[in-house]
Amino acid sequence: MSKLNDILIRAGRGPLSLPDATDRLKTSLAEYVSQKTIDTGNERLVTFSAELEKIDELTWLQNQSVFPRIFWMNRDRDDVAAGIGKADSIVYDEEGPNSESFLFLQRNLDRKPHGERYFGGCSFNNQQKKEKDWDPFHSLCFILPQVQICRNNDGSQLKAHLYIPEGADPEEASSGLQKTLDSISLSTTCSASVLPDTDDISYKPAREKWIETCTAVLNTFREGFMGKIILARQTHLTFRTPFSPLLFLLNYPFPESSTYRYYFEPEKNRAFFSFTPERLYLRNHDSLMTEALAGTCSKDTLPDGNIDACRHLLNSEKDIREHRFVRDTIASELGPICSEIDMEENVRALQLNNLVHLYTRFRAILKPGSENDATVLTSLHPTPAVGGVPREQALEQIIDLEPFSRGWYAGPIGWISKERAEFAVGIRSALANNRHVFLYSGAGLVNGSSPAAEWDEVEQKIGDMLAITRQTV
């Protein structure tokens, strides 16, 4: 394999306005390609970067017409990325255990010594048959955008990535990036900001079937076959006209809520997006952070709001038991791959807009040989908060009991690089296909659960997205 050259060209220091930063990237690209001494043999990645004045990344993304389009914001809101186009990608479409797709991802990433991030996601269960609405989404897909805006505590950057395959002519390879840069809209306002009206809303399964299925599952718990399972529901919204799914993020009404914001649009008006509160893990070399998040209470169902909801949740025997399943299972999954594990002794309450969750944080050091994402993903996904206990039995039951394909719902979503990665769990999410949007959320069943109460909990969990559409829970 040829050596990959990782070249960083700082096109401008500023910070610069969006028009000036864009012009600097175009000029730097043209100057690089015009060099007569460029080696045309080796594969390489050339990154052009300019400091950028702070702008609204979502508005910038909405104004762009190049696909795919991606957006990422972490829970602390200090790591933001908006990208367009595809400079490079890692794609897997074979059926089989998720461990095989994770290994494929790792092997391809190992061939890319540069430190740039690839954004994407993968299926919850790669052994489940996909439905037609998931066609644009591969079993696993991670993309290095052609152009992206990145923002962290150090400020904002406009970046362009030129990937030159081995033996390719740099000028020919640069034509796609040049076309994307030329197409960039410099507008700072959005023309369309409101979602169209809905014509219809339906549920899969319907409430009667949900209660019937949950009751049957609870009977198996009493017989000792399983300890916990998460069953999901699909809410199908039909809108009057097609629209950009990015409007869901642009109209999210709770900007201070402790959730990730994730968006992946491989082609126009076909997108998967999530407002998930749950981190799967954050890896920095051999240092790992993860968490157990399970147990839910709605503030709207209690008279005194936040304080009552937290107190109620921390004293709920059913929710504490559900949380313990997840916490103890994650601790046991970390054991074989970690040399040090520090688990918080006290359970915390994570407050969102109208919900409160129980969560426990873990910090760990990965063992030599395990400090890679294929190992961590295989060990942690799916957590008992989206699958169940025992894991394999729960996965089989989910396929048998849920009347739809989960696709990327509840799968790992986020970004990955050679030395660092962060993944969230793709819950509180939706799949958009022109006029049709499918909302996904689930509830954890343990012995003592009420099927009717779990239906109501699923309603509460998609309440934020329904509020955007002017529907009510």
- Quickly state the pLDDT bin for 2 (edges 50, 70, 90): very low
**pLDDT tens string 419-465:** 999 999 999 999 999 999 999 999 989 888 999 999 999 999 998 89
> Catalytic pick from 86, 130, 159, 228?
228
DSSP secondary structure string, 435-450? TEEEEEEEEEE-TT--
The SS3 assignment for 212 reads: helix
**pLDDT tens string 305-332:** 455 778 888 888 888 888 988 899 999 9
Instruction: Say what the pLDDT of residue 253 is.
Output: 87
Residue 454 assigned as binding residue: no
148: pLDDT strictly greater than 70: yes
3: pLDDT strictly greater than 50: no
What percent of the chain is modeled with pLDDT above 70? 94
User: Counting Cβ atoms within 10 Å, is residue 289 exposed (0-12), middle (13-18) or buried (19+)?
Assistant: middle
Residue 240: count of CB within 10 angstroms of its CB: 12
**pLDDT tens string 264-305:** 999 999 999 999 999 999 999 999 999 999 888 887 766 654
- Quickly state the pLDDT bin for 4 (edges 50, 70, 90): very low
CA dihedral 200, 195, 158, 179 (to 10 degrees): 80
Q: Positive or negative, the Cα torsion across 356, 360, 365, 366?
A: negative
DSSP secondary structure string, 120-170? EEE-S-TTSPPPGGGTTS-SEEEEE-SEEEEEETTEEEEEEEEEE-TT--H
Q: Which of 179, 207, 273, 217 is nearest to 465 (CA)?
A: 273
d(CA 120, CA 99): 17
Higher pLDDT among residues 154 and 11, named by residue: 154
Residue 457 assigned as binding residue: yes
| Domain definitions of the chain by residue range | 6-183, 198-469
CA distances in angstroms from 196 to 65, 162, 326, 435, 468, listed in the order given: 20, 38, 39, 9, 11
> Catalytic pick from 51, 100, 278, 371?
278
Instruction: Say what the pLDDT of residue 70 is.
Output: 98
Active-site residue 223, yes or no? no
Peptide bond into 382 cis (omega under 30): yes
Q: Show the tokens assigned to 392.
A: 């394999």
Active-site residue 228, yes or no? yes
Instruction: Say what the pLDDT of residue 238 is.
Output: 97
**pLDDT tens string 18-35:** 999 999 999 999 998 888
pLDDT averaged over the chain? 91
CA distances in angstroms from 323 to 86, 188, 259, 350, 355, listed in the order given: 40, 44, 19, 13, 15
What's the residue count for the chain?
Answer: 473
CATH topology of domain 198-469: Anthranilate synthase (3.60.120)
d(CA 292, CA 311): 19
The SS3 assignment for 108 reads: helix
Give yes or no on whether 6-183 and 198-469 have one common fold: yes
Q: Show the tokens assigned to 400.
A: 């048998």
473: pLDDT strictly greater than 50: no
d(CA 231, CA 215): 12
**pLDDT tens string 166-205:** 888 888 889 999 999 999 999 988 876 789 999 999 999 9
The mean pLDDT of 342-359, rounded to a whole number, is 88
Instruction: Kindly report the CATH number that applies to the domain delimited by 6-183.
Output: 3.60.120.10
